[in-house]
Amino acid sequence: MIEKVAPTDARVLITGENGTGKEVVARLLYEQSNRAHAPFVEVNCAAIPSELIESELFGHEKGSFTSAIKQRIGKFEQADGGTIFLDEIGDMSLSAQTKVLRVLQESELTRVGSDKSIKVNVRVFAATNKNIKEEIEKGNFREDLYHRLNVIPIYVPPLRERKEDIPLLIEHFTALICSEQGIPVKSFRKEAVELMKTNDWTGNIRELRNVVERLIILCGSVISANDVELFA
């Protein structure tokens, strides 16, 4: 699906539990897109206080509020010609959602404290671990914004639903972590990998990576099923 969608300009809504790799999907879409030469701007909507999200996304003019000591270019302007990734969009305030909707509808924005419209050409990816339809029913998310974003829905399944990926992920993380730590590449016995496939991995791929790193640091050059039982 990523290969089909990436070369287009379609908006993508990526859903899935925490730690499933939604950001990896967004980056792959960008890297395989026609905008790969242009900026990729990531915004974690959950990490920005609601009173600052509009300034962060759309920028502000000098003096538009107490701490606005100079003009600021917002994330949408920074991404002009490229792609913006709105991570955890389910946590965005309703007022910010309204302004994002305007950008999607009209391809223009207004900085905080300004009345001048600025044209932008931005492809939008959004991601959330929330059930957006439930958030709409609760009045926490605008239905019209959901339909604007949800042109191509990509659901990233939890690791427990794709355990056949675990051996490949272990191999990938082992090479990556050993390289980062500057140590010779270690290996996992087949029975160790099979034992790891029986775990439910409630923290998904993020949890698996942590466990692989722990085993690499604490165990010998060949990691056994016994090592997994002790440390995983």
Q: What digits encode the pLDDT tens for the residues 17-60?
A: 999 999 999 999 999 999 999 999 999 999 988 878 888 999 88
The 10s digit of each residue's pLDDT in 172-215 is 999 999 999 999 999 999 999 999 999 999 999 999 999 999 99
Residues 125-142 have pLDDT tens digits of 999 999 999 999 999 999
Which ranges in the chain belong to alpha helices (H)? 2-5, 22-31, 53-58, 75-78, 94-106, 132-137, 143-149, 166-181, 190-196, 204-218, 225-231
Give the distance, in angstroms, between the CA of residue 47 and the centroid of all CA atoms in the same chain.
13
pTM equals: 0.89
Determine whether 55 is exposed, middle or buried from the number of CB atoms within 10 Å of its CB (0-12, 13-18, 19+): buried
C-alpha–C-alpha distance, residues 155 and 136, integer Å: 18
Q: Over the Cα atoms of the chain, what is R_g?
A: 21
